[in-house]
Amino acid sequence: MVSRTRARQAACAVTTLVSGTSERAKLSTIMMVHTHNSTTPSKKYRKIDVTQPLKEFNKMLQMQPRPDISSFNALLVAVSKARKYQDLIFMFNRMAEVDLLPDYIGYCPNIVTFTSLIKGLCMEDRIGDALGLLRKIIGMGFYPNVKTWSTLVNGLCRSGNVEIALRVHQEIRSGDVGSGLRFAPNLIYYCCLIDGLCKEGFLEEGKELFTEMEERGISPDVVSYGILINGLCKMGDWEEAKGLFFQMMDRGIRPNVVTFNMLIDALCKEGKTDEASGMLDFMIQRGEEPDSITCNTLIDGYCREGRIDDARELFVTMADKGIERDVSTYNVLINGYCKLRKLEEAMDLFNEVLSTDYKPTVITFNILLTGLFQVGNVDVARELYSKMEDRGLTPGFSTYSILLDGFCKNNCLGEAMELFQTLEKSGYKHNSLSCNCLLDGLCKGGKLDLACELFERLPKMGLAPTPHTYSIMINGFCKNGQLEKANDLFLLMENKGCAPDVAAFNTLMRGYCNNNDPAKVVDLLHKMAERNLLPDSYTATIIVELLSKDKSYSEYLKLIPNFTDKGR
């Protein structure tokens, strides 16, 4: 047991550390020891409202008698899982401020408390503080367990500090990291580290660790195989993922529904829905029950390929197979109908949702609003939006952007402006997406003066124009015959530190092409080459169109620069 004196010392040291005084810990000073049992969270506080963690925390502090440390640990762990890391650090500081940690019997912080805090510090990118905290608590006599080390290396990976995670692992692998203290990595530890590496795109390092784990005599299980299979699928390496899948089965490790779902998802994203369907059949033959995620993924795959009838058939047969649908199932199929502009079928499905126990979400409404605006059915879109508010759903950034874009593209500029201003007056903070939607609509609707006013207001709104924003405005000037202003804005873009992308170059080149100015087009092509920007198919279309306008322009063909793949 850790003495109360040491607990006080640890609390003071940690409070100083997490309050903002950064101490860069040297990896060589990290001491690693074996696990000891952690306190199980109190049943009374298992259900925790993490939507308002500080309110819950303050309520616990005011209770008499106060809950024991396990209750506070439960809250800290829940807040950590909810990724509310600033709240986590604040709570620990507050516990120390009220002298809760050392002064009441049973209130000594334990390794669960510190593990949650280490995760919070990692995710706030306070790596030096996380490592320093670990070193301090070990020095105070606390015994980190496998959860602590797993949390540390996974947190380092997920916060982008893969190199530090691998250096920590090197010390762990050596088995002796100073002061004669030892920690033997186990399956849980390796799974956490490999998972962190794969999710950050370090697949080769993850594969090497998987091999290392086996060489150390640690047998992989369905979870460890699943982590690596998922990493391979995310990188588009379906063949190797499939090979690992069959290797797992050859070793007698039974794949679960999660494993099958990963493979079906990868196949659908590769456009191999027939193979994905075969995998579903294989899954059922092996006695593994598909879930709604399995079917939703395959339905989405069918929809992406335009196979709406196959998607509908699977949707219908889900009930026969005993697989419960959820609102996501409906959303996927509704989206499939909308993409094919089959709005009648989409609305029928939506009405079916309303007649069931499922509740449509903001995503459901967003899908339908997008589809309705695409086919020009603005009146039904307005009616649907009002239903959304009637059902108590709160529109978000995406919904408002869809409305603004839909109104603009359907020549309802007045309504778009009214919505934009109403939102602004109500305290809604517009983002680049919503502003770009309105700017594009105004430019295309011949309201260039209003577009310029909004563009100039962006900095006051706390927004920096994106490359897309500049392209919209450049296109507006070009369409209005104001090529000089378009070029000035293009130059301003660079001066403001916003490097023009291929789309911006294409937009200005299109303007010069329409104005029959081949010299300017060639000049822009040279600037693209200087910046190692490769032309795309639209660039080629502009050049071909320009050269075909006048035979005399063919002399410019030899002036077009050679583009090399230097930066790729």
Per-10-residue mean pLDDT for the chain, 568 residues long? Answer: 49 50 34 31 40 74 77 73 69 68 42 74 76 72 73 80 81 61 76 86 90 91 93 87 91 93 92 94 92 96 96 92 91 97 95 89 96 96 91 89 94 93 90 92 93 94 94 95 94 91 94 91 91 91 84 74 61
Tokens 């005399």 belong to residue: 552
3-state secondary structure at position 19: coil
Token output for 132: 């320093």
Tokens 């779902």 belong to residue: 261
Query: Which DSSP helix (H) or strand (E) runs through 343?
Result: helix 343-354
Tokens 């989409």 belong to residue: 346
Q: What angle do CA 310, 314, 315 make, to 5 degrees?
A: 115
For position 163, what pLDDT does the model report? 84
For position 142, what pLDDT does the model report? 66
- Classify burial at 120, counting beta carbons within 10 Å of its beta carbon; exposed 0-12, middle 13-18, buried 19 or more: buried
For position 22, what pLDDT does the model report? 38
Calpha distance 312→317 (Å, rounded): 9
- The count of residues in the chain is 568
Backbone phi and psi for residue 355, each to the nearest 5 degrees, phi listed first: -85, -5
Flag whether the pTM goes above 0.85.
no
Tokens 């517009």 belong to residue: 430
Token output for 166: 């691998």
Calpha distance 24→503 (Å, rounded): 43
Cis peptide, bond prior to residue 255, ω within 30 of zero:
no
For position 42, what pLDDT does the model report? 35
Helix, strand, coil percent values for the chain (each to nearest 5)? 70, 0, 30
Please, which residues have CB within 8 angstroms of residue 523's CB and are 6 or more apart in sequence? none
For position 549, what pLDDT does the model report? 80
For position 566, what pLDDT does the model report? 47
For position 104, what pLDDT does the model report? 31
Calpha distance 30→430 (Å, rounded): 46
Q: What angle do CA 256, 262, 268 make, to 5 degrees?
A: 135
Tokens 């009637």 belong to residue: 390
Closest CA to 119 of 134, 97, 136: 134
Token output for 276: 């994905």
Q: Longest Cα pair distance anywhere in the chain, in angstroms?
A: 93
For position 225, what pLDDT does the model report? 93
Please, which residues have CB within 8 angstroms of residue 218's CB and are 6 or more apart in sequence? 185, 186, 187, 190
Contact between residue 535 and residue 504 where contact means Cβ atoms under 8 Å apart: no
3-state secondary structure at position 107: coil
Calpha distance 41→507 (Å, rounded): 60
